[in-house]
Amino acid sequence: MKRLIAIGAALACVGGLRAADKVDFTKQIRPIFQQNCVKCHGPEKQKAKLRLDSKEAAMKGGEDGVVIVPGDAAKSDLYRRITLPKGHDDFMPNEGDPLTTAQTDLLRDWINQGAPWPEEAAAKESVPTDPLAVLPKDFKPGANESKAIAKIAQSGVDIRLVARNTPWTEANFRLQGTNVTDAVLAPVKDVTSLVEVNLAKTSVTDAGLAALEHLNNLIRLHLELTSVTDAGLARLKNLKNLSYLNLYGTAVTDAGLEHLKGLRSLKQLYLWQTKVTEAGAASLKKVLPELMISTGAELNTLVKKEEKSEEKKEEKK
């Protein structure tokens, strides 16, 4: 029971330290922005003219004014919006899952601590890059693309343009959940305009990922909470433009990461609650030094500390 309590305490702090501790922007806040906010408030899109991919832009705010008031989360519209009930018109993020309580608490504490944004982090973001810039300027959809899109629409998934005046598209299968099988995903192989595919919480298997093998323009891929394993990652090894990959809650191991070592464009990789070890992640990092890898190591460390504390208390009795 006490071990469960320790783990519960750790989960309450997942992604960071206790509220009383100083929040680390680079390790704790920037990953939240990158995973949950930048898609709609970054280089590709600027909803409400707001960007959260650089310090200067974030502090400037958007068409509704300033969203971060350093030192006062209660007056910061960013914090207000992420803590509204889902379904509220102003709720953020309005796509995907809400932030966890731990994440909203981290953002609250970071703002209350003055919203520090280190110079080294700001320097890396000073010249925001457009991820679509690496894609071919003369792209033309294949002959079977429109038929494939119509077929996918029959399963309840609409393939949408990521922005105006661009041929690039995105597909969010997550909304259909476990109804999305390998057969449902199969037509995707002909939608070569796809730059983002979200398969989180679907029933797609390793075999189904064959549909993605030749989507050379794919930049972002969500596979969290699926049955994907190392064999599935072998299907991704030729996706040269892939920059974001989420494998949270899958059964991938260190062996699977070997298939990712040739993905030179990969910049973000989420591995929490997988079978990947710190050694495996470090090995990948050596090959891809600019890759940001999130393994949930902070949580594991916190759990161990809580367990040791409980053990010491037991010894004193």
Residues 165 and 274 in one domain: yes
Residue 129 has a pLDDT of 60
Q: What is the pLDDT of residue 8?
A: 46
Domain range for 148 is 132-296
pLDDT tens track for 3-41: 444 444 444 444 444 444 789 888 889 888 887 888 788
Tell me: the pLDDT tens digits for 180-196?
999 999 999 999 999 99
| CATH code where residue 139 lies | 3.80.10.10
- Do 159 and 238 lie in a common domain? yes
Establish if 245 belongs to a structural domain.
Answer: yes
pLDDT of 297: 58
Domain count, the chain: 2
Q: Are residues 255 and 142 in the same domain?
A: yes
Phi-psi region for residue 137, left (φ > 0), alpha (ψ -120 to 50) or beta? alpha
What's the pLDDT at 30? 86
Q: How far is CA 169 from the centre of its chain?
A: 18
Q: What is the pTM of this model?
A: 0.65
Q: Write down which residue in 96, 129, 162 finishes a domain.
A: 129
Co-location of 112 and 145 in the same domain: no
φ/ψ bin of 177: left (φ > 0), alpha (ψ from -120 to 50), beta (otherwise): left
- Per-residue confidence (pLDDT) for residue 290, from 0 to 100: 87
pLDDT < 50 stretches in the chain: 1-20, 126-128, 299-307, 313, 317
Same domain, 285 and 153: yes
Please tell me whether residue 41 adopts helix, strand or coil conformation: strand
CB 276 within 8 A of CB 253: yes
